[in-house]
Amino acid sequence: MKLKLDPTRKLVLALSALVLGATIYNFSGAVLLHLTATIGFALALYWFYTKFSSKRKNIWNTLITAEIIFLVLHYGTSGLDLIYPLIATFIAITWKFFVEYRGSTVVNPAAGSILLMAAIVALIPGLDKAFVSWWGASFMGYFSLVIVALWMIFGVDKWKKWPAVISFLIAHAAVLIFRGQSFDFISYVFTDSTIFFFATIMLVEPMTSPSKKRDQIYFGLVAALFYNVFTQYGIPYYGLFAIVAANLANILLKPKLKKKKN
- Residue closest to 89 by CA, chosen among 30, 37, 33: 37
Question: Which residues make beta-bridge pairs with 73?
Answer: 132
Question: Which residues make beta-bridge pairs with 104?
Answer: 101
Burial 138-153 (b: 16+ CB within 10 A, else e): bbeeeebbebbeebbe
Q: Which residues 6+ apart lie within 8 Å of 224 measured at CB? A: 167, 168, 171, 172, 175
- Its pTM stands at 0.94
How far apart CA 65 and CA 127 sit, in angstroms, is 24
The pLDDT of residue 255 is 58
Contact 155, 11 (CB under 8 A): yes
Q: Which residues 6+ apart lie within 8 Å of 123 measured at CB? A: none
The residue type found at 167 is: S
The pLDDT of residue 195 is 98
The pLDDT of residue 191 is 95
How far apart CA 208 and CA 202 sit, in angstroms, is 10
Contact 59, 46 (CB under 8 A): yes
Q: Over its length of 262 residues, how does the chain's per-residue pLDDT go in tens digits?
A: 455 788 999 999 999 999 999 999 999 999 999 999 999 999 999 999 999 998 889 999 999 999 999 999 999 988 899 999 999 999 999 999 998 877 778 999 999 999 999 999 999 999 999 999 999 999 998 999 999 999 999 999 889 999 999 999 999 999 999 999 999 999 999 999 999 999 999 999 999 999 999 999 999 999 999 999 999 999 999 999 999 999 999 988 765 555 555 4
- Residue closest to 258 by CA, chosen among 199, 205, 211: 211
How far apart CA 69 and CA 189 sit, in angstroms, is 22
The pLDDT of residue 124 is 94
